[in-house]
A and B are shown apart, each in its own frame.
Chain A
Amino acid sequence: MKKIAVFGDPRMALEALARFDKETCVAVYAAQNRHDAEFIGAQGFASEVVDFRDDGALHAFGIGVDIDYLFCFFAADSDNVFLTISARTLDKNLSIIATVDDPDSAEKLSAAGANKIIDPYEITGRKTYEMLTKPEITHILDQSVHRRHTLNIAEVEIPEGSWLENRKTSTLRLNERHNLILLGVVDRELGDRLHFVVGDKEHILNNRDVLVVMGPARDIKSFKEALIRTDTA
């Protein structure tokens, strides 16, 4: 189970909390006041009041103990930078995702130790542009990436002993056998980058490689289950 802590703007926090997979994640909202804590609690999510300026409170909350992911959603960049620095000091391996209000603060957040920086305005601008220029594609990806309907995009890691080991990507034909489209593969021999499998690109699969597939949720589920069976090939 991944443990996630969410700080900052309650509306944004609510959007994120609603999208975490309850089967694999435990998420808690760290409110700055009782009102925010009650608001999030009323929506059915765990919340408690935590003073992000107090390292002791952060530690007691679980940062540096068992929290794997930290989300900094404060409206003020200074608050996000302060929380990122505090959390990074407590835990070197923590994954920190922070939003940025002023684009100039992005570098400061990186320097403070954030792994991923999100600019809500930039994303909205891009999204609007995509909706304008590629409405159909945006709709399809929106629905599938954010799991708004049964069509999903998922990462599938190849387990040891799977029938996929030592197979070439061109021979998989997942679209015919599993009703899935193989978009790309993370070939661990080549690093952690995703390689699209369109055209001439060929990859030999090994365990721990990751397949990025698109398809109906039930087909993705059955494909994952079939990975460890040896008779599917």
Chain B
Amino acid sequence: MLTRLLVYFAYFLKTSTRYQNAKHFFRRLLVLPQSRPKAYFDVFMIVMVVISVFLQLDEVQHQAQPWHGVFEACIVWLFIIEYLLRAWLHNDSHQIVLDHYERSEYLEIPFKVHKVLKAIAVKKIEYVLSPPALVDLLAILPSYRPLRFLRVFLIFRLFKLFRYIDSIKLFTQILSNKRFELYTLAVFLGLLIFIGSTAIFLFENPESGGHVNDLFDAFYLAVVTMSTVGYGDIAPETPGGRLVVMGLIFAGLGILSFFTSIIVSAFNDRANDLRENQVYAELGRHEEIVIICGFGRVGMHIAHQLARHRQPFVVIDKVEHHVANARRLGYLAIHGDASKNEVLAKAGINRNASAILCTTGDDVSNVYITLTGRQLNPAIRIISRAYQPNNVRKLYQAGANHVIEPFEIAGMVAAEYVGQPVAFDAIVGIMHEEKEFVLDTVHAHPNSSIINKKIAEIDFDHSKLMLVGVISSHPPHLKQNESYQMQDRHFYFNPKSYFEVQAGDQLVVLGKQIGIEYFRYQIEKSRLKIGRKR
């Protein structure tokens, strides 16, 4: 009975959208490094921690105000809730139940509840004993007023800041990467201090004419000397002691230089990672981004256009000076191979990327990037550049939605100059938004006033627009209008006055940008009105 209930509950949690959404929300709030809610939560917690520490310090010398207690209680509750939430997010306990259940079903062995509960407990204890969780727990203690000595744990409340400040975390990470060097240095330093303090005590004890009373004094003098601080409260008096101290000064200088070089090289090693982490964090803040793979001449022009229109994008290039160029222009850039799953994943192919543009000058790379992108995200839009005409098909096969051939386009453009330069310049101007007139599409939203209306009944003149055509996937239109195929839809040029606009249609209009915006606004307004009436 208990088994069935436990398994049922575990399945319920696994399939419950509300539960999963709630968990995802708290994961974004507390755990996911580049999420916006976490950034806000971290700032909030930093402020809370700092205020609480100041209040506690204030209470050391002054009488506590009544509101201090209320604030402290709120802080403690906040810490407790955060602690419990983190313990909950640490792992999926229902998954442990299901894994055990499926295993027992498959192997036809009995399902043992106590084993499952033990596995769940082990996971949670694993969390409780982790250093960040211990810090979280100890940070709650200073608020227990009857035991004043618990104020010492205030320091853990400050340690808790490590959780919320990414750069501190990064610093710790960098130091931990150099732990072998630092360990070696620490052993060497310990040995030197041991030898130094023993030698100082031997030469500088009161019986030998010195002022070092015990081994601790000798240890203190050795450390102060090696760190090159030299307070002067204890100084060597005997020639032997002075020789030892001189040796310690030189050894200290060497150790300090060695330590500095370890830290500098650690930062140098991670400089690219640090910069790229910043790029990833910046990318995570946008709702939609475009990934440009390759920052040659074509990629540069695309980036320029996107930047001009304030559309977020990231450049990925494996050529270092291309990446440097992109950064110099103020663009977000990643130095890496865009054909690697990891690089595209980090850039956000499965998060917020809306399109990939493969613009390297090498067709082989473009095919490979296209294929990788399509595999990682079957729905993403991929536009690729082809250098050789016979590679166009391969790019489509790899999954590109559109393929662009620079030479074909240049040839076409040049040819148009002979045929009809005025028309061509006008159209190029419209497309490049160099003219004051633009050709654009206006979406016919469901529940808006233009739905089921005849073309003749729609007031284009008021917005000073000209209707060029309608793009529609509505099959009945095909019977009464001449159309041009556009992938899965049709373009109805100059539709007849009785053409009825359907939800999802796109009206292709020519006019000034302000006219088009006004027309869109009218449609949106009508949607609201119709929605309110319903």
Identify the A interface with B (CB < 8 A).
2, 4, 9, 11-21, 25, 69, 71, 73, 95, 97, 99, 116, 118, 120-141, 143, 145-146, 149-151, 153-155, 175, 179-181, 183-184, 186, 192, 194, 196, 198-200, 210, 212, 214-216
Contacts and interface: CB of A to CB of B under 8 A. Distances in A.
Interface stretch (B1-9, B203-211, B461-469): B461-469
A120 B471 contact: no
A58 to B, nearest CB: 19
Contacts of A154: 420, 423
B510 A198 contact: yes
Contacts of A129: 301-302, 305-306
Contacts of B290: 132
Interface in B434-448: 435, 437, 439-441
B423 A122 contact: no
Contacts of B469: 140
Given A97-B417, A131-B402, A198 B494 contact: no
B415 A20 contact: yes
Contact of A15 (B298, B415, B439): B415
A125 to B, nearest CB: 2
B300 interface: yes
A207 to B, nearest CB: 16
5 contacts: A2-B418, A121-B406, A125-B297, A175-B494, A186-B422
B511 interface: yes
Query: Interface range on chain B: under 10, 10 to 19, 20 to 34, or 35 or more?
Result: 35 or more
Interface in B411-428: 411-420, 422-427
Contact of B484 (A18, A143, A196): A143
B512 interface: yes
A166 to B, nearest CB: 22
A143 B508 CA distance: 15
A36 to B, nearest CB: 14
Given A145-B416, A210-B422, A11 B298 contact: no
Contact of A137 (B305, B508, B515): B508
Given A13-B411, A73-B411, 16 more contacts: A11-B389, A12-B411, A19-B419, A20-B419, A99-B410, A116-B417, A124-B406, A124-B410, A130-B431, A131-B404, A132-B381, A136-B486, A137-B439, A140-B491, A140-B508, A141-B427
A155 B420 contact: yes
Given A123-B413, A181-B494, A15 B406 contact: no
A97 B402 CA distance: 28
B265 to A, nearest CB: 40
A66 to B, nearest CB: 15
Contacts of A13: 411
B385 interface: yes
B114 interface: no
B171 interface: no
Contacts of B385: 124, 128
Q: Which are the 3 A-B pairs with shortest beta-carbon distances?
A: A125-B301, A15-B411, A121-B297
A168 to B, nearest CB: 16
B415 A137 contact: no
Contacts of A136: 441, 471, 486, 491, 506, 508
A29 B355 CA distance: 39
Contacts of A214: 468, 493
B340 interface: no
Most buried by A among B298, B465, B471, B512: B298
A80 B508 CA distance: 40
A192 B469 CA distance: 28
B383 A132 contact: yes
B515 A199 contact: yes
Interface string B311-329: 1000000000000000000
B418 A25 contact: yes
Contact of A121 (B301, B309, B508): B301
Nearest to B515: A199
A181 B468 contact: yes
A15 B410 contact: yes
A152 to B, nearest CB: 9
Contacts of B417: 69, 95, 97, 116
Contacts of B493: 151, 179, 181, 214-216
Interface in B454-506: 464-466, 468-469, 471, 482, 484, 486, 491, 493-494, 506
A189 B517 CA distance: 32
A69 B415 CA distance: 10
B357 interface: yes
B454 to A, nearest CB: 14
B359 A12 contact: no
Nearest to A219: B494
Contacts of A186: 422
A146 to B, nearest CB: 5
B407 interface: yes
Contacts of B510: 181, 183, 196, 198
Interface string B82-95: 00000000000000
Nearest to A137: B439
A67 to B, nearest CB: 12
B302 A198 contact: no
Contact of B409 (A9, A120, A153, A175): A120
B414 A196 contact: no
Contacts of A95: 417-418
A125 B414 contact: no
B298 A198 contact: no
Nearest to A102: B297
Contacts of B453: none
A4 B418 contact: yes
B511 A71 contact: no
A194 B424 CA distance: 11
A130 B331 CA distance: 20
Given A121-B298, A121-B301, A149-B484, A200 B412 contact: no
B408 interface: yes
B437 A196 contact: yes
B415 A125 contact: no
B285 interface: no
Given A128-B404, A137-B440, A140-B508, A69 B418 contact: yes
B422 A194 contact: yes
Contacts of B466: 181, 198
B484 A151 contact: yes
A105 B198 CA distance: 76
B32 to A, nearest CB: 28
A214 B133 CA distance: 70
B431 A137 contact: yes
Contact of A131 (B383, B410, B515): B383
A128 B431 contact: no
A151 B469 CA distance: 12
Contacts of A200: 464
A34 to B, nearest CB: 22
